[in-house]
């Protein structure tokens, strides 16, 4: 195989750019059946480039434009596609162990099986690359990747991090997800027939409209997940950890709210703290509810209405509040870490720090900020809300409406703000290190 070096790529990049513009001297980038180690393709505009059968282990394609690029049969172990655009790319048969697809766009890409063949000296036909098909994507990371309508091989195993990934409409029939972290992933209308989800973390996952025929969920954690199946198919989840219904609670929701109010008013001396961990509160209307310091971890709050409610210092980590409303709610010091809040309404909510008085005389009160770390806030309506000092580390706020919001001192380390509307926001002293999509 021909070896290609980094200094040789400069002219090839320029020729490809001319090719894309239709200029004289332009030529499509073609590194098919060539080999290079730790090459840098980051931030390059390379739609339609050819990498068929290439050896490019440890190379860097982060932030690159790779729409309709051909990686058929390539060897791409430990390659970074961080935030790359691989829409409609051909990755059939590619070896991609340890590949990083974090924040990448892989819509309509083809990651199915494929074998690059060549004719030997004796006329025999053999594969160009040898490798176990089942291990093609071992340890690959798809965190927060968008792979809508993508096609995967039924022979592969994806035992890795797929948290917050979007596989809406994807073809994943027969894939083995055993032991994977899939928290907050979306599989709406996906083909999941015969998939193995044993012992996976699937909390706050969306499975609406997915084809789950023959899929196994033994030992899977499906708390706070949206799963709508015909009665005949519910046995598939008999050995999975599911969200508990209100009917299975010792007290009614009205009694729980009343007891919690007494607990708050007596500073814990009477009543009982609301413990709604892993409970299904989807579609409920609890406007004005007083749930300060309550525990709603891993609860299902999808399309619930909690307008003007009091959630100060409450724990809603890992909850699924997709399409829920917390408009004008008191959310001071709330914990929404790793929660699903996509399309949620947080307009005019108070998510500022909670001031906690010190028992030491003359000591300053402690400021306890709201926590949205790792949360999915895609398309959330957050206009006019107070997020002073709130923590958004590694959160996704793509397409969120943050107009006129107070983000003073907020922390956006490594967060995604692609397409977010920041008009009129107060970003004074905000920490934007590593944040993407900021205009």
User: Beta strand pairing status for 2-3 and 34-35?
Assistant: parallel
Counting Cβ atoms within 10 Å, is residue 184 exposed (0-12), middle (13-18) or buried (19+)?
buried
- Looking up tokens 């950890």, which residue turns up? 241
pLDDT at 115 > cutoff 90: no
pLDDT in tens, 334-349: 999 999 999 999 999 9
CA distances from 403 to 159, 334, 381, 416, 419 (A): 39, 21, 9, 16, 12
Q: Which two tokens stand for residue 214?
A: 């023959």
pLDDT at 28 > cutoff 50: yes
Whole-structure pTM value: 0.88
What local confidence, expressed as pLDDT, does residue 232 receive?
45
Q: How far is CA 305 from the centre of its chain?
A: 24
Residue (of 39, 73, 68) closest to 56 by Cα position = 39
β-partners of residue 222 are: 242
Confidence of residue 210 (pLDDT cuts 50, 70, 90): very high
The predicted model gives 177-182 an average pLDDT of: 90
Residue (of 42, 57, 46, 59) closest to 15 by Cα position = 46
What local confidence, expressed as pLDDT, does residue 439 receive?
72
Residue 232: helix, strand or coil by DSSP?
helix
Q: How far apart are CA 185 and CA 165, in angstroms?
A: 5
Cβ-defined contacts of 50-56 (< 8 Å, 24+): 52/116, 53/116, 53/128, 53/129, 55/1, 56/31
For residues 298 and 224, the answer to whether their CB atoms sit within 8 Å is: yes
The predicted model gives 7-17 an average pLDDT of: 96
Give the total residue count for the chain: 439
The predicted model gives 276-300 an average pLDDT of: 96
pLDDT at 129 > cutoff 70: no
End-to-end distance of the chain based on CA atoms, in angstroms? 43
HSE-up of residue 361 (Cα within 13 Å, Cβ side)? 0
User: What is the chain's mean pLDDT, rounded?
Assistant: 92
The predicted model gives 9-14 an average pLDDT of: 96
pLDDT in tens, 153-179: 876 777 678 999 999 999 999 998 988
DSSP state of 238: T
Q: How far apart are CA 288 and CA 266, in angstroms?
A: 20
- Looking up tokens 């989800």, which residue turns up? 197
pLDDT at 64 > cutoff 80: yes
Confidence of residue 352 (pLDDT cuts 50, 70, 90): very high
Q: Output the furthest CA–CA distance in the chain (Å, rounded).
A: 90
Q: How far apart are CA 196 and CA 179, in angstroms?
A: 10
The predicted model gives 99-110 an average pLDDT of: 96
pLDDT at 6 > cutoff 60: yes
- Looking up tokens 């907020």, which residue turns up? 410
pLDDT at 300 > cutoff 50: yes
């Amino acid at each position: 195989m021909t070896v290609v070096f980094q200094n040789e790529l400069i002219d090839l990049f320029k020729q490809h750019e001319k090719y894309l513009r239709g200029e004289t001297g332009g030529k499509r980038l073609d590194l098919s059946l060539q080999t290079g180690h730790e090459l840098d393709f980051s931030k390059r505009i390379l739609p339609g480039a050819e990498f068929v059968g290439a050896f490019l282990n440890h190379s860097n394609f982060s932030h690159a434009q790779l729409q309709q690029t051909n990686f058929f049969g390539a060897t791409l172990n430990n390659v970074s596609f961080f935030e790359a655009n691989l829409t409609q790319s051909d990755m059939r048969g590619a070896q991609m162990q340890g590949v990083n697809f974090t924040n990448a766009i892989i819509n309509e890409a083809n990651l199915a099986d494929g074998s690059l063949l060549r004719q030997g000296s004796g006329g025999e036909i053999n594969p160009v690359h040898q490798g176990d098909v089942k291990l093609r994507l071992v340890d690959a990371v798809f965190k927060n990747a968008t792979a809508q309508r993508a096609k995967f091989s039924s022979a592969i195993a994806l035992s890795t991090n797929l948290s917050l990934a979007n596989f809406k409409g994807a073809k994943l029939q027969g894939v083995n997800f055993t032991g994977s972290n899939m928290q907050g992933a979306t599989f709406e209308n996906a083909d999941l027939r015969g998939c193995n989800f044993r012992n996976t973390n699937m909390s706050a996952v969306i499975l609406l409209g997915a084809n789950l025929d023959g899929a196994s969920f033994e030992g899977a954690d499906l708390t706070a997940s949206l799963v709508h199946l015909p009665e005949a198919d519910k046995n598939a989840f008999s050995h999975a950890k599911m969200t508990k219904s209100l009917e299975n609670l010792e007290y009614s929701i009205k009694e729980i709210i009343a007891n919690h109010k007494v607990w708050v008013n007596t500073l814990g001396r009477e009543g009982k703290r609301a413990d709604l961990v892993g409970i299904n509160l989807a579609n409920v209307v609890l406007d004005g509810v007083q749930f300060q310091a309550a525990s709603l971890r891993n609860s299902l709050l999808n399309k619930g209405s909690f307008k003007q409610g009091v959630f100060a210092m409450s724990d809603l980590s890992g909850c699924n509040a997709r399409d829920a409303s917390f408009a004008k709610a008191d959310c001071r010091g709330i914990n929404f870490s790793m929660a699903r809040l996509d399309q949620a309404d947080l307009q005019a909510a108070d998510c500022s720090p909670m001031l906690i008085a010190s028992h030491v005389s003359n000591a300053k009160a402690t400021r306890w900020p709201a926590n949205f770390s790792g949360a999915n806030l895609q398309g959330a309506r957050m206009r006019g809300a107070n997020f002073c000092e709130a923590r958004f580390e590694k959160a996704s706020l793509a397409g969120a409406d943050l107009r006129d919001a107070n983000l003073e001192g907020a922390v956006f380390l490594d967060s995604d703000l692609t397409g977010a509307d920041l008009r009129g926001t107060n970003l004074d002293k905000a920490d934007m290190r590593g944040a993407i999509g900021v205009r």
